[in-house]
Amino acid sequence: MPETTDALLQTALDLLSTGRRSEAIPILQQVVRSTPQSAAAFRALAEAHLGSGELEEARRCCQQATSLDPSFDRAFYLLGVIGAHAGDLDESIAAFERAIALRPKYFDALRGLAAVAGRSGQLARALECYRELIVAGIDHSEILLEFAETAERHGDLDDAITARKILVKRDPDNLENRFNLSSLTGKDPPAVAPSSMVTQTFDRYAETFESHLGTLRYSGPELLHRAVDRFESRSDLRVLDLGCGTGLCGQPFRPMAGQLIGVDLSPRMLDKAKDKNLYDALHCADVLEFLSRPAEYDLIIAADVLIYLGDLQPVFSAAHSRIGRGGRFAFTIECSDSDDVVVSRNHRYLHSPSYVRSVIAETGWQIEVLDECTLRQERGQDVAGIVAVARRSRCA
């Protein structure tokens, strides 16, 4: 390759290293025209196209690089990355494996293979890769987290627990690590689920949320409405729907409400609720934070929301402070056989009926309804729950 072409290639690589892809691409195109046998130039051009989101051009250039130099491990690695971005998982796996065969300690390729194998359902293969990385000392927290998640999906709970314990030890203030460890061990649950985790989960879930619940025969809003309807005949209530999600409670409770307010952590779920035109106002906020705002309601409802709170006393106390005399707090929970509050493998808090009764009494409510029920089905099994209505005394 002439010296001037070498200089052009280096200039393009320098531009790529600083993210200036649009400037690098024409220079690299000039290089591959003048030296069409340069695998390095084709690989660099593939990287530039990938960074610009041009996946097909990136793949074409990378395939040209591997054709020109079948021993070019970095080109096979990049081909694996491109396949992963494009969703071509089989192609990605084959490319990563080829890169590793050419360079057995190619840790970037090994991690790429682990991630793609996990996405394609090849969990045992993914775990092999993660274990090799960890044994080699590539055990930073992100790798351990990926390993723990994959081990849990594969059913290797001992490995998942070990990795989670290391993560908690490294960062004891990380609520998400503690919550996930508790879901595996059933011990030492934090007071609440991490709000960031709840938000991310339901933002991802928003598009398919209602159709998925339909397959689970979910009945929380209907159960809640029937319980309240036994005592309430007004149509002018000020109603607050905690954790309103896509607005499933809006339909049954709208006829009772002179004003219907919804609050949820997930912006995308709230977008779905807004489309129903059932709520007078919708707020993106944590339920406890929202209950700290001055307002008074006649009815507060919480369908499958308290499953993300371990310690129920703060929310019951906060709700009591926002309810007018004689007002009600209606909610559903999932049941635990244990007297202790536990986090399930599904990352939900389970509460025992005795615990719920004690919190209701301690926070100044009177029980009107506390019935066992089936909230939905999961893996063909009924999920046991409680539907409850608590009332604030007219004298308190």
- Start-end of H helices in 1-156: 3-17, 21-34, 39-51, 55-68, 73-86, 89-102, 107-119, 123-135, 141-154
For residues 331 and 312, give the distance between their C-alpha atoms in angstroms, rounded to a whole number: 12
CA 253 from centroid of its chain's CA atoms:
29
The domain total for the chain is 2
Look up residue 279 and give its two tokens. Answer: 């709520």
Identify the pLDDT of residue 382: 86
Identify the pLDDT of residue 3: 52
Domain residues for the domain of 58 are 3-185
Identify the pLDDT of residue 24: 83
What 3-state class would DSSP assign to 312? coil
Residues 264, 346, single domain; the answer is: yes
Cβ neighbours of residue 113 under 8 Å, at least 6 residues apart? 80, 93, 96, 97, 100, 125, 126, 129
Q: For residue 168, how many other CB atoms are within 10 A of its CB?
A: 18
Residues 134, 212, single domain; the answer is: no
Residues 179, 207, single domain; the answer is: no
For residues 91 and 68, give the distance between their C-alpha atoms in angstroms, rounded to a whole number: 19
Residue 43 lies in a domain: yes
Residues 133, 257, single domain; the answer is: no
Q: Which of 137, 155, 185 is a domain's end point? A: 185
CB-based burial label for 23 (10 Å; 0-12, 13-18, 19+): middle
pLDDT tens, N- to C-terminus, the chain (396 residues): 445 787 888 887 888 888 888 888 888 888 878 889 989 989 988 988 998 899 999 999 999 999 999 999 999 999 999 999 999 999 999 999 999 999 999 999 999 999 999 999 999 999 999 999 999 998 899 999 999 999 999 999 999 999 999 999 999 989 999 999 999 998 888 889 989 999 999 999 899 999 988 888 899 999 999 999 999 888 999 999 999 999 999 999 999 999 999 999 999 999 999 999 999 999 999 999 999 999 999 999 999 999 999 999 999 999 999 999 889 999 999 998 777 788 888 889 999 999 999 999 999 999 999 999 999 988 888 888 999 999 997 655
Angle between helices 267-275 and 195-205 (to 10 degrees): 50
Residue 191 lies in a domain: no
Annotate 220-244 with b (16+ C-beta within 10 A) or e (fewer): bbebbbebbeeebeeeebbbbbbbb
Identify the pLDDT of residue 395: 57
Cα–Cα distances (Å) from 225 to 117, 219, 229, 302, 332, in that order, read 45, 10, 6, 11, 11
Residues 176, 213, single domain; the answer is: no
Q: At 263, which CATH number?
A: 3.40.50.150
Residues 215, 162, single domain; the answer is: no
Residues 62, 18, single domain; the answer is: yes
Residues 259, 379, single domain; the answer is: yes
Cβ neighbours of residue 212 under 8 Å, at least 6 residues apart? 205
pLDDT digits (tens, 9 = 90+) for 225-267: 999 999 988 899 999 999 999 999 999 999 999 999 999 999 9
Cβ neighbours of residue 180 under 8 Å, at least 6 residues apart? 148, 164, 347
Q: Report the chain's terminal Cα–Cα distance, integer Å.
A: 88
Residues 246, 269, single domain; the answer is: yes
Residues 169, 289, single domain; the answer is: no
Q: Which of 134, 157, 185 is a domain's end point? A: 185
Residues 240, 336, single domain; the answer is: yes
Residue 219 lies in a domain: yes
Identify the pLDDT of residue 394: 62
Q: Which of 133, 154, 185 is a domain's end point? A: 185
Q: At 60, which CATH number?
A: 1.25.40.10
Residues 34, 173, single domain; the answer is: yes
